[in-house]
Structure 1
Amino acid sequence: MIKIGVIGAGKWGQNHIRVFSELDCELVGIADTVQETAELAKNYGIVHEKNYTDLIPNVDAVSIATPTDTHYKIVKDCLLSGKHVLVEKPITLHSDEAKELVDIAAEKHLILAVGHLFRFNPAVLKLREILPELGDVNYITMRYIHSNKPPRKDSGTVFNFAIHLFDTLNFILDATPEKIFCKRVNYISDEREDCAMILLDYGGFVASIEVSWLHPLKRRDVWVIGSKEKVYVDLLNQKITKYMIEIHPDKTIDGGSTSIDVDQREPLREELNHFIDCCEHHKKPVNDGMQGYYAVKLCELALQSAEEGTEVAV
């Protein structure tokens, strides 16, 4: 049975701890600089270390849920110590650092996975499955919006929210855009964008993304408009509605709408279980380090576009 340690026991790290404790692995301990997390470890009957380097020797793999700007060093230290790694998204804040980590993992024959959770969302998996039924993709719109908590301090909405949607597009389309244009605004902070509108050009169609800390609603959703059918995907509630409507120059064929069955499951449980399986059987994760690299690269290009005020080639 694989031995796992969790580095970072904040709100999301605590979810990792909860799920790993319920899966077929040995949760050895947690590492967190906040002393109060020692009580959390005690509740689970596991080890608590203030320094993650003290946890590394006792595990086979680590799950990292620390602030983004710490990812590069912690992941690198773990890989160089011969440990498999799952790190929350983004893998790093710089694509060159992400690529370096990917190369280290490959050289040492280690698993490097990135927490791109939507790849394990049953609604996304179902959308990927039914996408060919929609005909040619005309366009896609996506939203990741909410204002139910204070904005993060380590990065803005592009690296926090849009990165999820970039990776989801890469996953369902199995393609990357040709060009990207981004417009961002700063109302809450001068350092990090609070809202961004992003347009991705795939050659034959476009995808638009809205990400925001300012919107009063909490939404994670997708519209895919196809030449034959259209679908709305509610990522939060894991629900899909298909609209059988065709728009022609001289007529509209409206076949009504229907709900698509989705086998609802907890995405984090699916992701962590997949990580364990990959580590034990040395299988390539669907959310491997290269996917994390691609997502970071698109974030960088989006911010470059916003800075330059022009469309950027991918």
Structure 2
Amino acid sequence: MKTVKVGVVGVGYLGTYHVEKYASMPHVELVGVADIDLARAREIAARFGVTATDDHRKLIGKVDAVSIAVSTSQHYTVARDFLENGVDVLIEKPITTSLDEADALIELARSNDRILQVGHLERFNPTTVALQEIVTRPLFIESHRLSIFKPRCTDVSVILDLMIHDIDLILSFVRSGIREIRASGVAVISEHVDIANARLEFESGCVANVTASRISMKNERKLRIF
């Protein structure tokens, strides 16, 4: 089997997990890491014996694939640079901050015959996998995803930060078009919405009530399907 050369852009909290996983995988060669914080990049690179840079473009030509775990506001620019240069991309959720940017990346991947995958890891949670075998025609879904405030993801709203997980899961369960969306949210601590609720009504008749907060007193994950 061919060895795949990979790199990781953004080696903060999540990016470091990508580095660790790649370093332990067979048939994968971790080539290097990139982060605008060069000291952080060098720290992680030294731990795994790879190169470090503060310019992600220096990985182009050296890697076959890359993980992108930078701030969401930078997803589009970084992913575009790699896709345009023939590199497959695994990008942390959410894909971008806007639909226009997401559509542009999808078209870039298609026109360059590259893989573009978004890291919606909740789909691979063993509980979710088991539910996919059981849930065939959901009628009502209720989800709560509450988190204690952390300043690291406040460049986007709680919808793109946390609720996106449950929206993705719900869409994977229902597999129907959406008839109506009603939603509300408020910014409490950050400049973006920090707590939100959405009611999704599907063409199949299923209704999903989704709540997400990143300013709660405790962490809580709840998903109920009827």
> What is the TM-score normalised by the length of structure 2?
0.93
1:157–1:177 CA distance, 2 compared to 1 (3 A) = same
Q: CA deviation at 1:148?
A: 5.0
Q: Aligned in 2, Cα 1:151/1:84: closer, same or farther, shift over 3 Å?
A: closer
Distance across 2 between alignment mates of 1:67 and 1:156: 12
What residue is the counterpart of 1:48 in the other structure? 52
Structure 1 counterpart of 2:108, one-letter code: I
**1:39 offset after TM fit, Å?**
2.0
Give the equivalent residue in structure 2 for 1:217: 218
C-alpha contact 2:158 2:193 (8 A) present in aligned 1:
yes
Q: Is the 8 A contact 2:140 2:208 kept in 1?
A: yes
Within the alignment, does 1:99 sit opposite 2:100 as a pair? no
- Segment of structure 1 superposing worse, 204-213 or 34-43: 34-43
1:48-106 deviations in Å (ceiling 9; x for gaps): 11101111211000100000010111111100000000011111111111111111111
Aligned letter for 2:25?
A: L
Q: Which residue of 1 aligns with 2:22?
A: 20
* 2:44 corresponds to 1:36: no
Say if 1:151 and 1:213, in contact at 8 Å, map to a contact too: no
Q: Which segments of structure 1 move beyond 6 Å, counting only runs of 4 or more?
A: none
Cα distance in 1, alignment partners of residues 176 and 166 from structure 2: 13
Give the match for residue 137 of structure 1: 138
- Contact 1:148-1:218 within 8 A present in 2 as well: no
Secondary structure class of the residue paired with 1:81: coil
Q: Which residue of 1 aligns with 2:194?
A: 194
Is this contact kept in 1: 2:38–2:52, CA < 8 A? no
Give 3-state SS (helix, strand or coil) of 2:167's partner.
helix
Which residue pairs with 1:57 in the alignment? 61
Paired residue for 1:156?
157
Q: Any conservation in 2 of the 1:28–1:58 contact (CA below 8 Å)?
A: yes
Deviation at 1:15, TM superposition (A): 0.7
Cα deviation 1:152-207 (Å, max 9, x = unaligned): 32111111111111111111222342211101122223x21110011000131210
> Does the 8 A contact of 1:128 with 1:173 survive in 2?
no
Q: Aligned to 1:53, what secondary structure does the other structure show? A: helix
Is the partner of 1:5 in helix, strand or coil?
Answer: strand
What SS is found at the alignment partner of 1:187?
coil
> Which residue is 2:13 aligned to?
11
CA distance in 2, matches of 1:153, 1:162: 14
Secondary structure at the aligned position of 2:217 is classed as coil
Secondary structure, aligned partner of 2:6: strand
- Over residues 18-48 of structure 1, what are the superposed CA-to-partner deviations in whole Å (9 max), with x where a residue is unaligned? 1111112111110112122202201101111
Q: 2:152 and 2:37 mapped to 1: Cα distance?
A: 21
Q: Aligned-pair RMSD on alpha carbons? A: 1.3
The code of the aligned residue for 2:161 comes to: N
1:108 aligns with 112
Distance in 2 between the 1:137 and 1:115 partners?
25
- Tell me which of the two structures has the higher relative contact order, counting C-alpha pairs closer than 8 angstroms and 6 or more residues apart: 1
* CA distance in structure 2 between the aligned counterparts of 1:167 and 1:179, rounded to whole angstroms: 17
Counterparts of 1:45 and 1:152, CA distance in 2: 29
Which protein has the larger Cα radius of gyration, Structure 1 or Structure 2? Answer: 1
Secondary structure of residue in 2 paired with 1:58: coil
Counterpart in the other structure of 2:85: 81
Q: What 5-or-longer segments of structure 2 have no aligned partner?
A: none
Aligned sequence identity (%): 34
The equivalent of 1:119 in structure 2 is: 123
Decide whether the 8 Å contact of 2:87 with 2:114 is kept in 1: yes
- Say if 2:196 and 2:211, in contact at 8 Å, map to a contact too: yes
CA distance in 1, matches of 2:153, 2:113: 34
Decide whether the 8 Å contact of 1:5 with 1:56 is kept in 2.
no
Shift of 1:215: 1.9
Aligned to 2:14, the other structure's residue is in SS state helix
Whole-angstrom CA distance in 2 between matches of 1:187 and 1:100: 32
Measure the CA separation in 1 of the matches of 2:154 and 2:165: 18
